[in-house]
Amino acid sequence: MDDILLIVFLPLLAAIIGGLGNRALGNFVVKLITTVALFASCALSWPIFLEFVAGNGTTEVVPVLKWVESGTLSFDWALSVDALTAVMLVVITTVSAFVHLYSWGYMEEDPDQPRFFAYLSLFTFAMLMLVTADNLVQMFFGWEGVGLASYLLIGFWFKKPSANAAAIKAFVVNRVGDLGFMLGIFGTFLVFGTVSIPEILAAAPAMAGSTIGFLGYRFDTMTVLCVLLFIGAMGKSAQLGLHTWLPDAMEGPTPVSALIHAATMVTAGVFMVCRLSPMFETSPTALGFVTFIGAATCFFAATIGTCQWDIKRVIAYSTCSQLGYMFFAAGVGAYGVAMFHLFTHAFFKALLFLGAGSVIHSMHHEQDMRYFGGLRKKIPLTFWAMMAGTLAITGLGIVGAFGFAGFYSKDAILEAAFASGTELGGLAFWAGITAALLTSFYSWRLMFLTFWGKPRWIESEHVQHSVHKTPETAEDSTGGYQPHESPWTILVPLGVLSVGAIFAGYVFHHAYIEDAAFWGSSIAYNEHLMHALHEVPTWVKWAPFAVMITGFAIAWYGYIRNTAFPARVVEQIEVVHRFVFNKWYFDELYDFLFVRPAFWVGRLFWRAGDIGIIDRFGPNGAAWAVAHGAGYAQKLQYGYLYSYALVMLLGLVGAVSWIIAG
């Protein structure tokens, strides 16, 4: 298990070299060092994962160094490796390695490539620290590390005001969630007297039913702790209420979207809930809360994805929706199924984001799908990669035969929700079915608008007039810009991720869903639920396929067969469309409730407090007193000898009088 040290610290070493070396080393050297380091970590991660799949993996803790000794608080910096960690290792290192390679082509013209690649490697290290954490403080270190790296990467193009605003928004919203996470960690230490995750999980069942006092009231201990911890997950994984940062994060470069906001960072919350699943199992109320938030997010985000025009925002809201699936799977107790969807989702969502980046690259950074069309013949390799990702996310497959990645994981989530037999489980099932219909619709809408129909890039002033014509950029009959296929550094990652999108579900579904030995003690494995999952009615098994076909048919009719149909539908439901198109007005609501009052309070303290009191009576007041005092003192300096003699005489008389009077 010494390999785990290399897996975790190679990205950190690469980030340090790339960050400090920067332009002194040059673009090529920094890119080579960081990319080789990530591929090395990836190569070392897969054997560990496959050992657990084969049933030969063993849980180990590799110590790094002594960390904290303070009173009763004592913990080391150690790397824990079990089945759950092994899953995350291959997800993080595989996606990150190919995102590094992809960025060679996508960021080729950027003048600040060393900084970008150093940030990517720093993020990967922080994420690896999070998933290998042996205690809650170390997990929080990784948790905040990915938050920092996310801020740096979203705002990488810091000269763009929109990128800076998006980075700040992501940072602030995540701090709200992190406050809950910190309170959960503090409360857990207060209750259990330790931050060691194995010790906490071992003691958690004994705390079921206990209460804790707060402000004169008694609350269920485990419910309070689990809800606080889950609030942290809501922020990091962009769940309803703390989701507003994720779509805006698309302002960062497309490789950032694929790495952070599709496959890794946003899944940290799911990982945390599954890691602490024995704690959540002690509180049905907390699990119900997780189920409800997951189901609501699943439906809410899918509705918004149906009417966005920015290709990256469609995929971003799809990410929110898919994370909702993972959370309500965990909420009904199907933690292994939630992790299975996390695993498959990493492949097809990273593929879709990187495929969208290839489209944007070919369209000279145009992201509005209204200016795409007819691209399947111009960029055929990108088209087939996007097709694989679309078939995976929509869950194409035949029950009992073969299916793409999402077919196995998403269908298992829906079956688990139905099999749970609870009211919230039933609600989650129907929310998930509805979201599956919407997912199929917006996914095929994206494909049809991008790759079919007449070429509309001729109508885009951005594409036609801001491009630098070169011999390689062919021109069409109108004399305008002609899209072209991406370089091999972009296409190779698309090809590899396509293989994962096609086969990851088929190859690994048995280990994730049916093999309790695979998980060992890394999660709370519910054998009864996993058995009931296979006993659901036939219509439940076929319902996802039916809604997938329905969504495809609606998208085909509206964007291929009868292109005037969507506009007519919008006219009929104008109010609903405006509500959904404006993202349920969450941004406007938060602006009214939080942003404007915060700015008002800030301006009040600035003008009345800082300027009116501190500056007035502090530095400005002292300067005024010195200036005026100097003016009065100056008036006493007449320059005449008899005036100074008179002053001295008066002083002498005053001193003598004071002595005599005393």
pLDDT of 476 strictly over 60: no
**Coil, helix or strand for 387?**
helix
Tens of pLDDT, residue by residue over 174-191, are: 999 999 999 999 999 999
As a whole number of angstroms, the distance between CA 41 and CA 311 comes to: 31
Q: Which of 378-382, 510-514, 541-545, 615-619 has the lowest mean pLDDT?
A: 615-619
Nearby residues of 593 by Cβ (< 8 Å), 6 or more positions away: none
Buried b (16+ CB within 10 A) or exposed e, 580-595: beebeeeeeeeeeeee
Average pLDDT over residues 580-590: 92
DSSP string, 168-209: HHHHHHHHHHHHHHHHHHHHHHHHHS--BHHHHHHHGGGGTT
As a whole number of angstroms, the distance between CA 335 and CA 337 comes to: 5
Percent of the chain exceeding pLDDT 90 equals: 64
Q: How confident is the model at residue 340 (pLDDT cuts 50, 70, 90)?
A: very high
Among the ranges 75-79, 226-230, 625-629, which has the highest mean pLDDT value?
226-230
Local structure of residue 638 (DSSP, 8 states): -
Residue 470, pLDDT score? 43
- The dihedral over CA atoms of 179, 332, 89, 322, expressed in degrees to the nearest 10, equals -80
Q: Bridge partners of 80?
A: 61
Q: How confident is the model at residue 479 (pLDDT cuts 50, 70, 90)?
A: very low
pLDDT of 405 strictly over 50: yes
Nearby residues of 317 by Cβ (< 8 Å), 6 or more positions away: 247, 301, 302, 304, 305, 308
Residue 472, pLDDT score? 43
Q: Are 489 and 97 in contact (CB under 8 A)?
A: no
Q: Which of 218-222, 242-246, 374-378, 400-404 has the lowest mean pLDDT?
A: 400-404
Q: How confident is the model at residue 259 (pLDDT cuts 50, 70, 90)?
A: confident
Q: Bridge partners of 211?
A: 220
Tens of pLDDT, residue by residue over 104-127, are: 988 888 888 999 999 999 999 999
Matching residue, tokens 């702790």:
225
Distance of alpha carbon 646 from its chain centroid, rounded?
A: 81
As a whole number of angstroms, the distance between CA 343 and CA 322 comes to: 12
Q: How confident is the model at residue 474 (pLDDT cuts 50, 70, 90)?
A: very low
Q: Which of 256-260, 296-300, 504-508 has the lowest mean pLDDT?
A: 256-260
Q: How confident is the model at residue 459 (pLDDT cuts 50, 70, 90)?
A: low
Residue 475, pLDDT score? 46
Average pLDDT over residues 283-291: 95
Q: How confident is the model at residue 467 (pLDDT cuts 50, 70, 90)?
A: very low
Residue 135, pLDDT score? 93
Matching residue, tokens 């400005």:
620
Q: Bridge partners of 196?
A: 135
Average pLDDT in the chain: 89
- The dihedral over CA atoms of 402, 325, 412, 318, expressed in degrees to the nearest 10, equals -10
Residue 111, pLDDT score? 86
Percent of the chain exceeding pLDDT 70 equals: 95
Residue 469, pLDDT score? 44
pLDDT of 326 strictly over 70: yes
Average pLDDT over residues 296-323: 93
Average pLDDT over residues 155-174: 90
Of 316 and 466, the structure prediction assigns the larger pLDDT to 316
Residue 70, pLDDT score? 85
DSSP string, 469-528: --TTS-B-TTS-B---PPPHHHHHHHHHHHHHHHHHHHHHHIIIII-HHHHTTSS---HH
What pTM was estimated for this model as a whole? Answer: 0.90
Tens of pLDDT, residue by residue over 498-554, are: 999 999 999 998 888 887 888 888 888 888 898 888 899 999 999 999 999 999 999
